[in-house]
A and B are shown apart, each in its own frame.
Chain A
Amino acid sequence: MLLGSELTWTLAFVVPYVVVFIAFVVYPVARGLWMARDPSLYRALLADPLYARTVVNTALYVGLGVNVKMFLALLLSGFFMRRRWWIRALLPVFMLPWALPSIPAFVSFHWMLIGEEGLVDRLLWVLFALPGPLWFNNRWLALAWNVVAAVWKWLPFWTLTFLAGRMAIPRDVYEAADVDGAGGARRFVHIVVPLLANLYLVCTLLDTLWTVGDFTTVSLVSEGAPAYSTNVLATLGFQYAFDAAQPALGVAAVMTALPVLVPVTVLLMRALHLRQVQL
């Protein structure tokens, strides 16, 4: 009797989420795979030069963005470990990009780069009397600014994560290194790198998943300009579906990222299991 009511309660507690999960996660995924099932869609994608270019852009955006972000975050987390009062005061200022909602931030990025009227070109002119370029007229410059905007927005978050990781390293490990005379660089190589290696891997993989799916940055900073040449898969899929009225092609375009996403997830799960052993 008691067991029966326990079971009822358990079900009552779990069922609401299971329903939400099936209705809004499983069903859309299944429907997406179903929409993208036709092989001719993939032939159409391969024949489209816009798609090939988008794949290159996505690889660059993710490869550069994630690695620059992670490496800088690892170095900066060491900087913020210092115990001077003004470095502590700097941390909340440094966190601002993360606290700021993405849309206002990226709209502002867009206007900083709008050409000679944008703040960046105005600064170049006032400080160095240089006529700045039209950033969004050049594919590589526009792509680079998308990466910069993404790094700007997410660097604080990862720095904070690594900072927490460094703080979890017991103090006596550092003290032992001090006694042995290991200075900054050697301490970094022999203590921080091995102890944070797994965390670094987990964060890199997580950020890869997030960056592959990033729609907002590209759609607001470069807006795909010039002439759709800085699209990434997420924005291209959207354009196929809603500007060109080819939803199935749009879903097929984003689904071609699955051969990358699935191994990344498998690696991530394994790294998460290792976590307990590592720290």
Chain B
Amino acid sequence: MSTITAEARLSSRSVARASSAVRRRRYLNRLGTAVLSVALVVWSLAPIYNMVLISLEPEGDVFTDHIWPRVPSVESFWGVLTQGHWYLEHFWRQFANSLFIGAMVTFFALLLGSLTSFAIGRMRVRHGWLVSNAALLTYVIPASFLAIPFYRIMQNYGLANNPWSVIAALVSFATPYAIFVFQEYGRSIPIEVDESARIDGASPPQIYLKIYLPLMAPALVAVGTYALLLAWNEYLYQFLLLSSKSSMTVPVALAQFLSSDQSPWNYMMATAIIYAIPPVVIYYAFRRRMAAGLTMGGVKG
């Protein structure tokens, strides 16, 4: 009897000790999570805060010793939107150039990628895999390493200072990824769908347009978003191939601010923020579908 109570007392004491250890560990765990979360927010937002801070400074008051805007002013944003500074006299033209290049890269990457993957995956071309593997070889030599010969070739083709030269470069860089994702995704669509359409007398273009493309819609959205963001992120080829003020894109114009010590930094940062808004909006709008597309090939296997 007494041994049982002793045992019971002993075990209840060790349970209490164990539970206080658990509680302490849980507390430390929570504290660690909170600290890490705050650190991640600061880390992610610091350069963005810096952009906002400088853009809100009135002109001539950019470099001072405070770390928040003392007299916030949206003058610089207004200046960008109305092209109110000689650095920005072609802003809307340049923004339109960026949009045009982004739209064309997206369109042609989707078109070429889907046509190729349709032919390889659905029409069962012999040795079709050769095409898709060769396409992936595009990524062996980084695009930046080919900038010099590419520049030369574009001059030969008579495409210097022409947006189509940038579009050609970016499309040839985005399409192999498009083919890869489309083929991985296409495996989930049974080939019998195509076969029954063919028996009903549909021609390959009809199958492509009416069956393949609609079924591929999620992959098209994912790759389209990828291609658009690729074009919006690209700098080297645009910088190299577009030199006149009316043909250049916003990133090139932004880098031009850096070439002088007397540039209006608040206008530069306002331009940077305005340029950054469209991809951020697009990214958050298509976030879920894009993540699905990115992981489709790479992770699930």
A interface residues, Cβ below 8 angstroms from B = 5-6, 9-10, 13-14, 16-18, 20-21, 23-25, 27-29, 31-32, 35, 76, 79, 82, 84, 86-87, 90, 92-105, 107-112, 117, 119, 122-123, 125-126, 152, 156, 160-161, 164-165, 168, 199, 202, 209-210, 212-216, 219-220, 223, 233-234, 237-238, 241-242, 247, 250-251, 254-255, 257-258, 261-262, 265, 275-276, 278-279
Contacts and interface: CB of A to CB of B under 8 A. Distances in A.
Given A107-B258, A265-B140, A25 B172 contact: yes
Contacts of A93: 40-41, 44-45
A210 B175 CA distance: 17
25 contacts: A13-B119, A13-B204, A17-B135, A17-B175, A25-B138, A31-B153, A32-B145, A79-B36, A84-B33, A87-B37, A95-B287, A99-B229, A100-B276, A102-B233, A103-B254, A104-B275, A105-B47, A107-B272, A122-B67, A164-B291, A164-B295, A220-B235, A250-B148, A255-B145, A279-B301
Nearest to B278: A101
A99 B125 contact: no
Nearest to A82: B33
Nearest to A109: B47
A237 B112 contact: no
A257 B203 CA distance: 47
A104 B115 contact: no
Given A13-B119, A20-B171, A103 B272 contact: yes
A183 to B, nearest CB: 10
B118 to A, nearest CB: 6
A75 B168 CA distance: 39
Contact of B273 (A104, A123, A233): A104
A12 to B, nearest CB: 8
A210 B140 CA distance: 10
B99 interface: no
Given A14-B131, A237-B148, A94 B204 contact: no
A92 B265 CA distance: 29
Nearest to A278: B301
A160 B294 contact: yes
B46 A112 contact: yes
B135 A276 contact: no
Given A164-B291, A237-B145, A101 B279 contact: yes
B67 A123 contact: yes
B125 A14 contact: yes
Nearest to A100: B276
B123 to A, nearest CB: 5
Nearest to A265: B140
A117 B265 CA distance: 12
B161 to A, nearest CB: 15
Interface in B36-83: 36-37, 40-41, 43-51, 53-54, 62-63, 65-67
Contact of B172 (A21, A86, A261, A278): A21
B132 to A, nearest CB: 10
Interface of B: 33, 36-37, 40-41, 43-51, 53-54, 62-63, 65-67, 111-113, 115-116, 118-120, 123, 125, 128, 131, 134-135, 138-150, 152-153, 168-169, 171-172, 175, 179, 203-205, 208, 229, 232-233, 235-236, 240, 251, 254-255, 257-258, 265, 268-269, 272-273, 275-276, 279-280, 283-284, 287, 291, 294-295, 298-301
B236 A28 contact: no
B133 to A, nearest CB: 9
Given A14-B131, A104-B272, 6 more contacts: A16-B111, A21-B134, A152-B44, A209-B140, A238-B144, A238-B147
Given A79-B36, A251-B149, A29 B141 contact: yes
B43 to A, nearest CB: 7
A247 B172 contact: no
A99 B279 contact: yes
B204 A9 contact: yes
A49 B125 CA distance: 52
B279 A100 contact: yes
Nearest to A241: B148
Contacts of B118: 13
A60 B50 CA distance: 27
A31 B134 CA distance: 18
Nearest to A257: B145
B145 A94 contact: no
A69 to B, nearest CB: 13
Contacts of A212: 142
Contacts of B169: 24
Given A10-B123, A29-B146, A112-B46, A96 B115 contact: no
Contacts of A20: 112, 168, 171-172, 175
A214 B53 CA distance: 28
A96 B48 contact: yes
Nearest to A98: B283
Instruction: Determine which residue in B48, B51, B66, B118 has the highest number of CB atoms from chain A within 10 A of its CB, and name it.
Output: B51
B37 A90 contact: yes
Most buried by A among B120, B204, B269: B204
Q: Which of B140, B171, B258 has the most CB of A within 10 A?
A: B140
Q: Which of A92, A103, A254 has the most CB of B within 10 A?
A: A103
A13 B284 contact: no
